[in-house]
Amino acid sequence: MTTIHENKGIFIYMQVIIKRTTAEIADLVSEKFVSLLEKKPKAVLGLATGSTPIATYEALINKIKAKNLPLEDVKTFNLDEYVGLEKEKYSYRTFMEENLFSPLGISSSQVHFPSEKTLSAYDEQIAAYGGIDLQILGIGSNGHIAFNEPGTPFESKTHVVKLEESTRDDNARFFDTPEEVPTHAVTMGLATILQAKEIVLIATGTNKQEAVRQMLSGVNSLNCPASILNQHPHVTVYLDEEAAGKLY
């Protein structure tokens, strides 16, 4: 299914693919990463955390191992990281180590996370490596991408954000107690994300229905940060039937 959005007089095609299972989505998205890595061993990957990409990372690990693809020249840039964490086990760096880097032998010298110290230097570092070739995104139930909460300016670069309570509630499942969920994070900005050459966004489950509906409504609104993706020429949105439930 292809949807057409009108954006300031310019028609942009955002490809939307609806699949029945998470496994089918993981297979398609991991295949995109594999074909990039086959063509470009020095690829720059934009990576995301959360529940959504886990199945894709599992599929990617299996495919890369099966094909014995070399990864020494790959660079990665993660979308975001918490600020003020007391326990390293909750960090997105730890998540990535466990779910992707360590199984694939990707070393710490290849990976990058934004921090309060780097901020806009993060954008410069991405640009210095030639930009992100393929960026994977989830979407928050409030329409955020990375930690760009509703109201974030479309021209934002990497910055510190105060997390919405809905985001802290959504993420509490990763913490032993809800109080441990940080109040702040550092995130690539919306303009940073839009610099990626190609973007894949995955949304699964009924709690993403409304955010997905708004993103694909054709209205670019600060209330739904993901709607900025309508301005990018090469985005594919992968949905399961639940997340697509309000599109029919």
- Catalytic residues, by residue number, are 80, 142, 144, 149
User: How far is residue 218 from each of residues 136, 144, 176, 229, measured CA to CA in Å?
Assistant: 21, 16, 39, 10
Comparison of 116 and 169: residue with beta carbon closer to ligand PGA? 169
Name the minimum Å distance from CB 170 to ligand PGA.
Answer: 6
* Planar angle of CA 77, 166, 120, nearest 5 degrees: 30
Comparison of 51 and 118: residue with beta carbon closer to ligand PGA? 51
What are the beta bridge partners of residue 112? 77
Comparison of 23 and 121: residue with beta carbon closer to ligand PGA? 23
User: How far is residue 212 from each of residues 36, 58, 173, 204, 247, measured CA to CA in Å?
Assistant: 26, 24, 22, 10, 8
Sign of CA dihedral 92, 95, 97, 101: negative
Q: Judge contact between 29 and 136, C-beta under 8 A.
A: yes
127 token code pair = 């640009």
Name the minimum Å distance from CB 169 to ligand PGA.
Answer: 12
Q: By the criterion CB under 6 A, which residues form the site for ligand PGA?
A: 50-52, 138-140
